[in-house]
Amino acid sequence: MNNADMTAPTALRFQRTALPGLLSALLLLAGCAGTPPRESRLGARFSQSVAVSPSKRDDVIIMALAQLNTRYRYGGGSPAEGFDCSGLVDYVFRTAADTGLPHSTERIAEISRPVNRANLSPGDLVFFNTLHQRYSHMGIYLGHGRFINAPSTGGVVRIDSLDSHYFATRFDGARTLFSAN
């Protein structure tokens, strides 16, 4: 049935019932990439790069693991409200390393430095192209090919493998916020 075949009441009913569902589905598909860039909750402006002390790597990992099974929530940035991928990363670094980050995968990629996958260390960031867009998803590397992330609506913060078919085919690079020394 097309719009020309609908009566006015039927068209209005369609707009009230189907349209909100379609919009919700599009938001679900947007995932982390759709979260608009914003200043951190600390209100800080971000420079071209961030340098976190390497002594904070263990704290970052412990704080990330403490968020396991927290529900996914688009735009979320705390355990109480749930997390999306960049909200999880911001929360972990803000809490464990006193470093607030933008709530945007793309902006976090911009302020971090590239790392060769072979040189990944726990606490580094891994990025994925999940929506035909660079840096549309991210996680925190744990070591041994595993990372923690907030993957999707209806899910929870979980550990995944870089070698899983889904993530291996979408790997978009690794970056770090940690200083060299």
Residues designated catalytic: 85, 137, 149
Q: What is the DSSP letter of 130?
A: S
Give the distance, in angstroms, between the CA of residue 179 and the centroid of all CA atoms in the same chain. Answer: 22
* Residues whose CB falls within 8 Å of the CB of residue 16, separated by 6 or more in sequence, listed in order: none
- Encoding tokens for residue 172? 């978009």
Q: Residue holding tokens 């690794």? A: 174
Burial class (CB in 10 A: 0-12, 13-18, 19+), 26: exposed
Note the residue count of the chain: 181
Is residue 9 within 8 A of residue 76, CB to CB? The reply is no
Give the closest residue to 138 by CA, choosing from 66, 84, 72, 57. Answer: 84
